[in-house]
Amino acid sequence: MCGIVGAVAQRNIASILVEGLRRLEYRGYDSCGVAVLADGALRRARSVARVADLDAQVRESDLDGVTGISHTRWATHGAPVTDNAHPIFSRDTVALVHNGIIENYESLREMLRGKGYEFASQTDTEVVTHLIHSLYRGDLYAAVREAVKQLHGAYAIAVIHKDQPHTVVGARAGSPLVVGLGEGENFLASDALALAGSTERFIFLEEGDVCELSLNGVRIADRDGNDAVREVRTVVAYGGAVELGPYRHFMQKEIFEQPRAIADTIPQAEAFDATLFGEKAAEAFAGIDSLLILACGTSYYSGLTAKYWLESIAKIPTQVEIASEYRYRDSVPNPKALVVVISQSGETADTLAALKHAQSLGHRHTLSICNVGTSAMVRLTELAFLTHAGREIGVASTKAFTTQLVALFVLAVTLGKMRGHVDAAQEAGYIKQLRHLPAALNSVLALEPQIIAWSEEFSRKENALFLGRGLHYPIALEGALKLKEISYIHAEAYPAGELKHGPLALVTEAMPVVTVAPNDALLEKLKSNIQEVRARGGQLYVFADADTRIVNDEGIHVIRMPEHYGLLSPILHVVPLQLLAYHTACARGTDVDKPRNLAKSVTVE
Ligand code: G6P
């Protein structure tokens, strides 16, 4: 993954490079570094702590310069130690930062060793740095264009050379890179957000582009080496610090922002129609016979939940697949299937690649459900529905998930209506329920003190099981994911009916079993599953709707959910699971917003 920034200016750019990293930490935070060109020499600072530490180093050592690059790392090749932190140097002459993975780095390394290059890191990045050094004949732009022809894999790079002041060269294939255009100064970054405050004019580089930034201009060559002209777009990216307010962590703040985020995402229209998904949606939706949903992580679970809605409300066959699996398997393309990609960031490498794979197989109609309007995913799909969660900072996704669910519910109702399965009265009922969701969520958030009491016990456990059925099985999956990613407690989720086929063997007094118990058609079945756990001495922690008649008893702890919410119930039931994970992680003292080994946006496969 990683985030990169580059700048050429007539002023000291160190603070722009460091501040850019702060805003790109969502892409990884294993280490960070900055290199500047000053008086004909490359200078560098690197840290395996967070950007604040790098900032202190930069200030203490007066690392000033008018040309420079910086990087925040999510480790792929090589441990997160200083030697592997970018910028990576080649013979104190070339400095380079890289986001992505070079798949043929081993053969390139052997070739470069043969030419006398020594390797000081375990990174795949170092081969690119030496390769550019080996190809340099007085023109960095030309050397990079030659070098990228030899690279296989995904990359976005920014490079400087000690003999070329006021020049930064960038290249991208598979990983994002934007050029920021200033007045007498120019910039590069993984994301426009990194450059907020420096410019609002951006060029989104295309696959295979190489660019050269100088003080007064930008040159771009396309993948065939021809000069290219790219559209300049205005993006007002809000880069200001997001305030924590009364909250301890961004994750907690984002959980509590859900009523607002959901209200902002629900369309204001009195009736839903295809235009909510784009100008061409009516025509596209009319010709489809099924849906293929592709996503990763939490977004995948929103897709799994949507399958229940789409098949029950719109009666349209729906397949949901993990993007990294779909992209590499032989599948049977159905040109009449609408491909739906779901992503908070719109930059997740596997989801992007799965989308491109589907397009290459002849899928014509594509829709993204995404929280970032300027993302690669939104640009690549025919149709789009934007969620309005606002910036999500905590690595563990919360408000992005519930707003995705809202978007997918709107999709199910819209398709149901077009296909003759939702009449005007039903539609009005669904819209009414959606509009009441923010208030219903506030009542669920008020359960926080009871959940804190449970989290104390959970924090002493090393394993947990999550159970759900039907529409709430994906919610159990999401609850288990939340707990494991931020508290590091091993957690697994099962459809409750599957318990007897294996996981019941794990149930002892030491095993908490979290159960999502809505008052729906499967309630009686679920109650039987609860008894199966009790009979084996397991400790049940049940989030039960009113009127389920599930009550506190020996081995069974109950938190009562305020109301049953019909088909929209998953949106309410996930919230206590988010809070349980959050408070358990707090009790264990983990780094909630930046859990170990993870990143917010996964831009490598
Ligand atoms: C990472 C994040 C998750 C997220 C997943 C998919 O793993 O930590 O929170 O669900 O990526 O990201 P996307 O931006 O595509 O929704």
Q: What is the pLDDT of residue 241?
A: 63
Task: Tell which wins on pLDDT, 401 or 50.
Answer: 401
**343 C-beta closer than 6 A to ligand 1:** yes
Residues 129 and 65 in one domain: yes
Residues 334 and 409 in one domain: yes
**602 C-beta closer than 6 A to ligand 1:** yes
- Residue 116 counted as domain residue: yes
Render pLDDT for 308-345 as a digit per residue (tens, 0 to 9).
999 999 999 999 999 999 999 999 999 999 999 999 99
Q: Which atom belonging to ligand 1 lies closest to the Cα atom of 298?
A: 10
Maximum C-alpha span of the chain: 78
Q: What is the pLDDT of residue 244?
A: 84
Residues 94 and 216 in one domain: yes
Question: Where does a domain end: 234, 269, 304?
Answer: 234
- Residue 292 counted as domain residue: yes
Q: What is the pTM of this model?
A: 0.85
- Residue 559 counted as domain residue: yes
HSE-CB of 115 using CA atoms within 13 angstroms: 13
CB atoms within 10 A of CB 599: 23
Domain count, the chain: 3
**468 C-beta closer than 6 A to ligand 1:** no
Residues 419 and 464 in one domain: no
Residues 38 and 92 in one domain: yes
Q: Which atom belonging to ligand 1 lies closest to the Cα atom of 599?
A: 8
At 411, the pLDDT band (50, 70, 90 cuts) reads very high
Residues 439 and 339 in one domain: yes
Question: Where does a domain end: 444, 475, 506?
Answer: 444
Residues 489 and 410 in one domain: no
Which candidate, 307, 141, 135, 303, places its Cα nearest to that of 220?
141
Residues 295 and 436 in one domain: yes
- Residue 26 counted as domain residue: yes
- Residue 239 counted as domain residue: no
Q: Which domain holds residue 144?
A: 3-234
Render pLDDT for 13-47 as a digit per residue (tens, 0 to 9).
999 999 999 999 888 899 999 999 998 999 999 99
Q: What are phi and psi of 362, to 5 degrees?
A: 105, 5
Residues 153 and 270 in one domain: no
Q: What is the pLDDT of residue 240?
A: 64
**252 C-beta closer than 6 A to ligand 1:** no
Residues 129 and 215 in one domain: yes
Buried b (16+ CB within 10 A) or exposed e, 513-539: bbbbbbbbebbeebbebbeebbebebb
Q: Is 393 helix (H, G, I), strand (E, B) or coil?
A: coil
What CATH number should be reported for the domain holding residue 532? Answer: 3.40.50.10490
Q: What is the pLDDT of residue 296?
A: 98
For strand 178-181 and strand 383-386, is the pairing parallel, antiparallel, or unpaired? Answer: unpaired
Q: List residues with catalytic annotation.
A: 2, 600
- Residue 331 counted as domain residue: yes
Q: What is the pLDDT of residue 568?
A: 97
- Residue 332 counted as domain residue: yes
Render pLDDT for 254-305 as a digit per residue (tens, 0 to 9).
999 999 999 999 999 889 999 999 999 999 999 999 999 999 999 999 999 9
Q: What is the pLDDT of residue 370?
A: 98
Q: Are 218 and 226 in contact (CB under 8 A)?
A: no
Q: Which atom belonging to ligand 1 lies closest to the Cα atom of 598?
A: 8
Is 395 buried (19+), middle (13-18) or exposed (0-12) by CB count in 10 A? buried
User: What phi-psi label fits residue 129: left (phi over 0), alpha (psi between -120 and 50 degrees) or beta?
Assistant: alpha
Residues 99 and 230 in one domain: yes
At 237, the pLDDT band (50, 70, 90 cuts) reads confident
Substitution candidate for ligand 1 out of 298, 340, 393 with most atoms within 8 A of CB: 298
Residues 77 and 209 in one domain: yes
Q: Is 437 helix (H, G, I), strand (E, B) or coil?
A: helix
- Residue 320 counted as domain residue: yes
Q: Are 167 and 161 in contact (CB under 8 A)?
A: yes
Question: Where does a domain end: 383, 416, 444?
Answer: 444
**296 C-beta closer than 6 A to ligand 1:** yes
